[in-house]
Structure 1
Amino acid sequence: MTVETTVQAKDIDEAFLQLKDVVKETPLQKDHYLSLKYNCNVYLKREDLQWVRSFKLRGAYNAIMALSDEERQRGITCASAGNHAQGVAFTASKLNLKATIFMPVTTPLQKIDQVKFFGGESTEVVLTGDTFDDCLKEALEYTDRYDKNFIDPFNNIYTIAGQGTVAKETLEQAQADHTKFDYLFAAIGGGGLISGIGTYFKAQSPDTKVVGVEPAGASSMYESVVQQGQIVTLPNIDKFVDGASVARVGEITFDIAKRVVDDYVQVDEGQVCSTILDMYTKQAIIAEPAGALSVSALEQYKDEIKGKTVVCVISGGNNDINRMKEIEERSLLFEEMKHYFILNFSQRPGALREFVNDVLGPRDDITKFEYLKKSSQNTGTVIIGIQLSDHNDLGQLKENVHDFDPHNIYINENKMLYSLLI
């Protein structure tokens, strides 16, 4: 059997029966806020409300059940940035299996704790590597050394079929309301979700346009399918959208995505942060970065989807509350509302008052100010953060700052300097 025919709609139907009494049937909800915002009918498939707050339980359980009893008893392993690990841990605990789960050291603590919670005594967590791909290498070496069974997070036909049950469930729920979708938006990391749901939609709802959404800093599927026509490994990725930050997609998912994905969207990580905050404040939905990708893509499609019916898969809700400060900061930077400068202040009384009066607008705010007066110098270096009331005022702000200090440094444009100082 060739790769092109390894996962079909019937495989997803079989997986659906396998999972029927294990996974939660998550809601398909019409979202009135997004529908009004984009002048269309937007539905959300709420996989953030799954037992492990992610669709990943579907693929993990289906792949583990595809093993023989003897294989399962030898023990299972996986590599994951969090959600797949939770699905494997949940399954291991339910089936009383031993699982060794490898996670990148950069994984948010909330996801690590959730894996331990769902796995209990059945699961051992090993933190290794800065990225998923580093972690994957360690997991595969361990699996071979101790003759375990590796449960791939995306490059496995049973994992893909399990993720595809999201589509079957979505279409059955939509059919009950006589709803037909013009567009489907779903996140892409390694490609397991988009491969599964894309396969099922193409078989059962072929008129639906399938759109895969990736973070701009880790768009490995777009780079492989559209740009290069072959699987490539990204040399550097932005790990912020941890659930979808994969440097290299799978061979199986690459081949399926070529056939079932109609378009690819790359979303700036800052826009993802704005979406997370918007979903929380407007809809009371706590989405993780990867879970917000599908909704973030609507902004780029806003003209095309007017009057249409759209479904977005909210793929996960495992967001660490400790990341909210960073999320807010990234959002403000993306919206061009917060700006940082290094400038020279004259070391005389009234210099700060002069800056406030001459540089800032009446509703602008200073959010950061670091300055150490040195009596042996006429001027002192200041790091200052300014939050605008209107992003359209940025041009005037830069002009005012330049008039105050022509030698100023605009930190926002220098990622290395920003990371060091802010």
Structure 2
Amino acid sequence: MDTATEVHLDFDAAYQRLKDVVKHTPLEYNERLSAKYECEIYLKREDLQIVRSYKLRGAYNLIAQLSQEQLDKGVVCASAGNHAQGVAYSCKKKGIKGVIYMPEITPKQKVKQTEMFGNGNVELVLTGDTFDDCLREALIYTKEHGLAFIPPFDDYRTIEGQGTVGVEILQDLPNFDVAIMPIGGGGLAAGMGTYLKQQLPNITLIGVEPEGAPSMLTSMNKGENITLGDIDRFVDGAAVKRVGDKTFAICRELLDEMLTVPEGKVCTTILKLYNEDAIVVEPAGALSVTALDAVKDKIKGKKVVCVISGGNNDIDRMQEIKEKSLLYEGLKHYFIVRFPQRPGALKLFVNNVLAPGDDITRFEFIKKNSKENGPALVGIELKNAEDYPALLERMAEHRFEVIELNRDQTLFEYLV
């Protein structure tokens, strides 16, 4: 298997192919994060790219190098959303046909954007529950029709294109200490990491994956590229069961540290970036900033670049994002409550068990024919996470029998 030192990736040539196609996205100093972590933090805003993610770079760089015969036949790709938009835009730009496979669970916003960027040049096929499912179908279709497949990450031309993110960063900030990059299949980290190490040999490269889909970290720990079983698909832009063989070989050699972050913490970051910085990011786009807490002692006093990889966030997901954030922060709790068989029990619960800042966000009797004394599903949002032990004490004091659903994953998934 080739390693980073054995592969020649021409980032300058890729930059020339792309400079009139992609947007040179801003590298913005973030005052809030810099003050919080006592360092200089810059955000590479690939959420402001033409297709709202860096994926256009790799897709166009590969397609631009196909033969005319291949272009005339058309291309195929598989994607969880952002690569699809990059391929769609490239097809429109080149005037060629594309067939794009996406998982059935792909957010509607990404499906509509792909259709828009393709502008009649692409056909969409929604199939399977994960990226890996639709990839399998796309490869079968590619082989049957003799078309060119455009890999989302495991191709040196794709890796080369993603590496132009690093080219732009060094144009705007010629010297810095740490780069934090999100990892799904590994194309961005492999390309950007290779270029940065070439130019700044002492730079620290950190990769970040969602906790529920740690394919790169698991493979690194085992010393070989492996395929995960079940994964959490929430961070859809970075949730893959298997990273690329080529990207794994490069990242294993280049990365100084590989981290995972909880999905709930990612949601908290999404909300903070929106509320405090007016930046709209998708879950994968928030990975690098989410990881800052884990490396805060290592980055103090240094110049740090975090790649905001994408901003394709469906507004319909915001309620789910808020819920996951509240659960992670310990501010949202669900219970099965068995009310005492005495008059005024519900009133007592509201007036004497809940604190002044607490709020009931959900209430429903589980047994519809036993509403007077049957168990109820109760959701409570706290003002402060530290108030939770006192809430439990008041429940016990007033003889309310409860089951804490947050501590029982099976019951939680079944009832909530």
Tell me, yes or no, whether TM beats 0.5.
yes
Matched, 1:323 2:281: no
Partner of 2:141: 142
Matched, 1:25 2:19: no
Cα distance in 1 for partners of 2:257, 2:193 equals 11
Cα distance in 2 for partners of 1:171, 1:305 equals 19
The answer to whether the 8 Å contact 1:347/1:380 transfers is no
SS of structure 1 residue aligned to 2:20: coil
Q: Deviations over 1:312-332 (max 9, x none)?
A: 000000000000000000000
Within a 5 Å distance, the mapping from 1:66-77 to structure 2 comes to 66-77=65-76
Cα distance in 1 for partners of 2:400, 2:158 equals 58
Matched, 1:280 2:258: no
**CA separation of 1:342 and 1:70: change in aligned 2, threshold 3 A:** same
Cα distance in 1 for partners of 2:181, 2:371 equals 57
**CA separation of 1:343 and 1:21: change in aligned 2, threshold 3 A:** same
Cα distance in 1 for partners of 2:385, 2:403 equals 19
1:404 shift after superposition: 4.4
Cα distance in 2 for partners of 1:54, 1:139 equals 22
Deviates more, 1:239-248 or 1:299-308: 299-308
1:358 shift after superposition: 3.3
Matched, 1:213 2:208: yes
Q: Between the two proteins, what is the percent identity of the paired residues?
A: 54
The answer to whether the 8 Å contact 1:344/1:405 transfers is no
How many residues get paired? 416
Cα distance in 1 for partners of 2:369, 2:245 equals 64
Q: Deviations over 1:104-127 (max 9, x none)?
A: 001100000000000021100000
The answer to whether the 8 Å contact 2:42/2:305 transfers is yes
Partner of 1:181: 176
* Letter of the structure 2 residue corresponding to residue 189 of structure 1: G
The answer to whether the 8 Å contact 2:4/2:194 transfers is no
The answer to whether the 8 Å contact 1:189/1:246 transfers is yes
* Letter of the structure 1 residue corresponding to residue 103 of structure 2: P
SS of structure 2 residue aligned to 1:207: coil
Matched, 1:195 2:214: no
1:36 shift after superposition: 1.1
Structure 2 alignment gaps of length 5 or more = none
Q: Deviations over 1:336-383 (max 9, x none)?
A: 000000011135431112112332222111111112787778721111
Partner of 1:45: 44
Deviates more, 1:377-386 or 1:37-46: 377-386
Partner of 2:296: 302
Cα distance in 1 for partners of 2:36, 2:192 equals 26
Partner of 2:332: 338
Matched, 1:355 2:355: no
Structure 1 alignment gaps of length 5 or more = none
Matched, 1:233 2:232: no
The answer to whether the 8 Å contact 1:7/1:199 transfers is no
**CA separation of 1:377 and 1:162: change in aligned 2, threshold 3 A:** closer
Partner of 2:158: 159
Cα distance in 2 for partners of 1:112, 1:156 equals 24
Cα distance in 2 for partners of 1:310, 1:160 equals 22
Cα distance in 1 for partners of 2:77, 2:228 equals 22
1:202 shift after superposition: 0.6
Please, what is the CA RMSD of the aligned residues?
Answer: 1.7
Within a 5 Å distance, the mapping from 1:378-397 to structure 2 comes to 379-397=373-391
* Letter of the structure 1 residue corresponding to residue 147 of structure 2: K
Cα distance in 2 for partners of 1:404, 1:60 equals 62
SS of structure 1 residue aligned to 2:36: helix
* Letter of the structure 2 residue corresponding to residue 184 of structure 1: A
* Letter of the structure 1 residue corresponding to residue 20 of structure 2: D
Matched, 1:243 2:237: yes
* Letter of the structure 2 residue corresponding to residue 364 of structure 1: D
Given the two structures, how large is their TM-score scaled by the length of structure 2? 0.96
1:4 shift after superposition: 4.1
